[in-house]
């Protein structure tokens, strides 16, 4: 008979799984509590949630979201101590986990699911190297502004050259 704590945690995992765009499964064996809390804090900054969960509860949550079966080889990685990162943005989740795994050798990335597709460790690493959403938006804005800025420079160039010419004539006459 399941206890109330497991029922509550399964409901929480299922809700987070349904609300998340990206989920990254990690092995946290050997991380201290303070290191886990540091990772939770980093995840909170980007609106993500990092939590330790029992593999059986994770299987049940995945089975409720994917009744036709677990996506890809997620079932294969649900063994040993497992922690999961839920995020609404796959790139920021990958950045958080990859950076933390670089700094802390004990955190191992197992696999992930993004947009209902399994992503491998190499794909998570590649995602972590992409620019952030804010950087992409600022780059897009700069690209959109460039033609208008070039037009303004071209339109003001004749007037500017005229003023430079007048200034040169004035300097020549005053000398």
> For 52-68, what is the mean pLDDT?
85
pTM for this one?
0.74
pLDDT value at 86 more than 90: yes
Write the DSSP assignment of 141-153 as a string of letters.
HHHHHHHHHHHHH
> For 11-18, what is the mean pLDDT?
90
- In the chain, how many domains are there? 2
Distance CA 100, CA 86 (A): 15
Q: Could you tell me the residue range of the domain that residue 139 belongs to?
A: 131-175
**pLDDT confidence of 71, banded at 50, 70, 90?**
low
* 78 shares a domain with 104: yes
Q: Average per-residue pLDDT in the chain?
A: 87
* 126 shares a domain with 51: yes
* 160 shares a domain with 81: no
- DSSP secondary-structure letter at 21? S
């Amino acid at each position: 008979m399941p206890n109330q704590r497991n029922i509550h945690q399964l409901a929480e995992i299922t809700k987070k799984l349904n609300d998340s765009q990206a989920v990254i499964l990690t092995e946290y064996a050997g991380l201290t509590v303070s290191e886990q809390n540091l990772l939770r804090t980093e995840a909170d900054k980007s609106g993500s949630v990092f939590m330790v969960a029992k593999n059986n509860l994770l299987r049940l949550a995945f089975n409720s979201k994917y009744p036709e079966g677990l996506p890809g080889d997620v079932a294969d990685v649900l063994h040993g101590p497992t922690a999961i990162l839920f995020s609404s943005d796959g790139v920021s989740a990958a950045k958080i986990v990859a950076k933390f795994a670089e700094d802390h050798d004990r955190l191992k990335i197992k696999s992930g699911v993004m947009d209902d597709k399994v992503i491998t460790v190499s794909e998570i690493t590649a995602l972590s190297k992409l620019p952030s959403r804010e950087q992409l938006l600022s780059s897009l804005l700069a690209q959109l502004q460039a033609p208008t800025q070039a037009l303004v420079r071209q339109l003001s160039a004749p007037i500017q050259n005229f003023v430079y010419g007048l200034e040169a004539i004035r300097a020549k006459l005053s000398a």
